[in-house]
Amino acid sequence: MNSSFTWVLAFTLLGSALSVAAAGVYLLLPARLREKSLDYLLSFAIGMLLGAGFLHLLPEALEQAQDSTHGLMGTALFAILVFFLLEKGLIWRHHHHHGQTHHSAEDQHHAPANSGEGPAGTLILIGDSVHNFLDGILIAVAFLADSSLGVVTALAVSAHEIPRETAAFAISLTTGYSRPQAFVYTSLSS
């Protein structure tokens, strides 16, 4: 087996284990503390995603695109629209599937968690799986370029994954997954 492949596997598994361990620690917190920290974790996760996209990824893409900034911004807008419609479609399907007619946002926020997964939880798990797959590719490419770069990249990805996975776990809990379901699905996604 190639030594680069061994390093890639070792560091991707280490990152996954660390992020799952963080989700497990969150699971062990008292329910009252989990409930109090949930809004903060959700806000942190959203802020981190928006910050990474608009403060790092888009400016870098704009710098490289030089001549086609309109196309790049159109792509970004299209992606936002697609995910907005996907979320609305899943929420619509979820409410009709359970026979619910109409609820206000306040009713949904204070409604008790059911045994089925919510649309946001499904979206988070799908997006998290794709994101983790791409992180694995990034780590593999970095190790192929240079083993030192691979180690640094893997550590940076792990540092970024731990709070993100914990937030994904928290979101899964609020969208109706039970604690064991959220832990298993987050582990599989990681």
Residue 96: pLDDT band (50, 70, 90) is low
Task: Say what the pTM is.
Answer: 0.58
**Strands of the chain, DSSP E:** none
Residue 108: pLDDT band (50, 70, 90) is very low
* Alpha carbon separation from 121 to 5, 91, 126, 135 (Å, rounded): 32, 11, 9, 20
> What are the tens digits of pLDDT across the range 53-63?
788 778 888 88
Contacts by residues 182-189 (CB-CB < 8 Å, ≥ 24 positions apart) = 182/23, 182/27, 182/121, 183/20, 183/23, 183/24, 183/27, 185/125, 186/20, 186/23, 186/125, 186/128, 187/16, 187/20, 187/23, 188/129, 189/125, 189/128, 189/129, 189/132
Q: Are 15 and 158 in contact (CB under 8 A)?
A: yes
Q: Residue 67, SS3?
A: coil
Q: Are 70 and 77 in contact (CB under 8 A)?
A: no
Ranges 28-42, 83-97, 125-139, 154-168: which has the least confidence: 83-97
Predicted pLDDT at 78: 92
